[in-house]
Amino acid sequence: MTTVHEPHVTTTASADALSVWPASATEPRPGDLTVGGVPLAEVAEHFGTPVYVLDEAEVRERCRTYRHAFPDAEVLYAAKAFLCRAMIHWVDEEGLGLDVCSAGELELAVTSGFPPERMVLHGNAKTPHDLELALRLGVGRIVIDSPSEIARLAAAVGPEGHQKVMVRVVPGIGAGGHQKIRTGTEDQKFGVSVSDGYAQHAIARILDQPQLELTGLHCHLGSQITSVKPYLTAVRRMVGLMARLHEQHGLVLPELDLGGGHGIAYRPGERRLDLTALACRVHAELTQACAAAGLSVPRLMIEPGRAVVGPAGIALYRVLTVKHTGDHTFVAVDGGMSDNPRPALYGVRYAPRLVGREGSADLARVTVVGRHCEAGDIVAADIDLPADLRPGDLLAVPVAGAYHLSMASGYNLVGRPPVVAVHVGRARLLVRRESLDDIRSRDVGL
């Protein structure tokens, strides 16, 4: 008989429980969780709640992981996941490009010093203002999403002008964590389809516009994809289209953009996309498919958003009430669907934990809810938290860096939370809390 030695665990948080937290997360004393060298309870005390905390080193390290995994590719951070001026600087300093989809994202980046030539503009319905600003600021590439955009863009560029463009192709692949975030299939609003010939038709029209230089094809399959396979299928279909374009038009496209959508774990034990495997297998598939088609290998571009910033963020809430009704215990916090609409939108599940004090060892099954006027305002349903949880306690929700603040709303006029960066033991305010004065100042009529 062999003896199995259990690893010695000194605190209530095992390594596994911290697996979805930033690498800097430590628990020097039970319940006393520290990120970026700063105790989360101190952040809450100093900046108030709800508050988003962002670990700068974690963001930078994730940018570097991409650069190392894809040394020959252009990695563009998808701004819509989360954007502020500090984030723009970090992404720039780490050598990533930027994927934007509005005049607002574009202008914030350019006025923060981000080089416009390293930016790509997306959007299924770009406004005249989006296009005018992109051209004026000199954005690197504009991704054409529909045939009607071609003549509009060509006219805006003018006969003497020049603009690099890509075209967003629908490869006909169903992948992604939820129906609402699948964008590679035929029945959704983005891109032009290969199967019905729209993509080929649109490309022929782009080639007729001398001021538009088509540099490559783009596709984005969806979000929260945890398997490499859909990306390999996308590579084969895109190279197939490139081969047909080469035959028909003698066209050689130097770039191929595979979009983002790389899945992350929101709760311990959940699957995430293996970036090293993705890089190796996409590279192999692309090389092989191009060789078989007699094409030179285009430069790869990728656009991760969530996987760069999601796991670097934490949302901190204060517990306001604990209510027992029938079989349920509801723990209500001072935020909710206005600072995180994702559970209501896609049924996403989070794993909040108590921070700032050691909770009782016995656990109770509770549902953590927000403060908003809807029954669907749920932060986390049916999770186990210390049974002695009470008003005044702090709850921390890991993996809150992506699609939280960027999707936050003005619901119930509670004001959007601030963003605080933590780094080597220091906490600094990046984005201040939205105040009633902010809300009042926009309200100019009577």
Ligand X SMILES: *Cc1c(COP(=O)(O)O)cnc(C)c1O
Residue 157 to residue 53: CA distance in whole angstroms: 41
Which ranges of 94-127 would DSSP assign to H, the alpha helix? 103-111
Residue 77 annotated as part of some ligand binding site: no
Smallest separation (angstroms) from ligand X to the CB of 263: 8
Q: Which is nearer to ligand X, 245 or 302 (CB)?
A: 302
Q: 69 or 385, CB closer to ligand X?
A: 69
Residue 346 annotated in ligand binding: yes
Choose the binding region for ligand X from 43-51, 73-81, 340-348, 393-401 (rule: CB under 6 A).
73-81
Question: 132 labelled as ligand-binding?
Answer: no
Strand 119-121 versus strand 363-369 pairing type: unpaired
What does DSSP assign to residue 298?
P
Q: Decide if 329 contacts 323 (C-beta within 8 A).
A: yes
98 forms beta bridges with 77, 119
Of 167 and 354, which has the nearer Cβ to ligand X? 167
Residues touching ligand X: how many (CB under 6 A)?
Answer: 16
Is residue 261 near ligand X by the rule CB under 6 A?
Answer: yes
What 8-state DSSP symbol labels residue 130? H
**Whether 373 is catalytic:** yes
Nearest to 106 by CA among 73, 75, 131, 143: 131
Residue closer to ligand X, measured from CB, 141 or 371: 141
For the stretch 117-130, what's the b/e string if a residue is b when 16 or more beta carbons lie within 10 angstroms of its beta carbon?
A: ebbbbbbeebeeeb
Minimum CB–partner distance for residue 99 and ligand X (Å): 5
Distance of CA 327 to the CA centre of its chain: 36
How far apart CA 54 and CA 19 sit, in angstroms, is 17
Q: How far apart are CA 106 and CA 112, in angstroms?
A: 10
Q: Which of residues 266-305 bind ligand X (CB under 6 A)?
A: 303-305
- At 204, the amino acid letter reads A
Pick 79 or 385: Cβ nearer ligand X = 79
Q: Would you say 305 is a known binding-site residue?
A: yes
Tell whether 304 is in a known binding site. Answer: yes
In this structure, are residues 123 and 148 in contact, taking their beta carbons and an 8 Å threshold? no
> Per rule CB under 6 A, is residue 353 in the interface with ligand X?
no
Contact present, 289 and 239 (Cβ < 8 Å)? yes
342 is in an annotated binding site: yes
Q: How far is the CB of 316 from ligand X (least distance, A)?
A: 23
The H or E element that residue 168 is part of is strand 163-170
Q: Which is nearer to ligand X, 118 or 306 (CB)?
A: 306
* Stretch in the footprint of ligand X (CB under 6 A) among 1-9, 259-267, 292-300, 388-396: 259-267
Residue 123 as a binder of ligand X (CB under 6 A): the answer is: no
Task: Give the Å distances, CA to CA, from 89 to 66, 95, 417.
Answer: 17, 10, 21
Residue whose CB is less far from ligand X, 88 or 332: 88
Residue 152, marked binder: no
- List Cα–Cα distances, 363 to 10, 13, 270, 388, 389, in angstroms: 19, 14, 22, 8, 9
* Residue 34, phi then psi, degrees to nearest 5: -120, 135
* Site membership for ligand X, residue 78 (CB under 6 A): yes
Which of 52, 57, 119, 122 is close enough to bind ligand X by CB under 6 A? 122
Question: Is 220 an interacting residue with respect to ligand X (CB under 6 A)?
Answer: yes
- The encoded tokens of residue 115 equal 């080089």
**Binding to ligand X by residue 80, rule CB under 6 A?**
yes
Contact flag: residue 130 with ligand X (CB under 6 A): no
Kindly indicate which of the ranges 44-52, 75-83, 343-351, 408-416 contains the residues binding ligand X, using the contact rule CB under 6 A.
75-83
Among 63, 84, 219, 373, the one annotated catalytic = 373
Out of 34, 163, 215, 223, point to the residue binding ligand X (CB under 6 A): 223
DSSP 245-308: HHHHH-----EEE----B---SSTT-----HHHHHHHHHHHHHHHHHHHT-PPPEEEE--SHHH
Residue nearest to ligand X (CB): 305
Structure tokens at 360: 């009782």
Q: Which residues are annotated as a binding site?
A: 261, 303-306, 342, 346, 374, 403
What amino acid positions are annotated as catalytic residues? Answer: 373
Which residue positions form the known binding site for substrate? Answer: 306, 342, 346, 374, 403
Annotated binding site for pyridoxal 5'-phosphate: 261, 303-306, 403
Binding residues for ligand X (CB under 6 A) = 78, 80-81, 99, 122, 220, 223, 259-262, 303-307
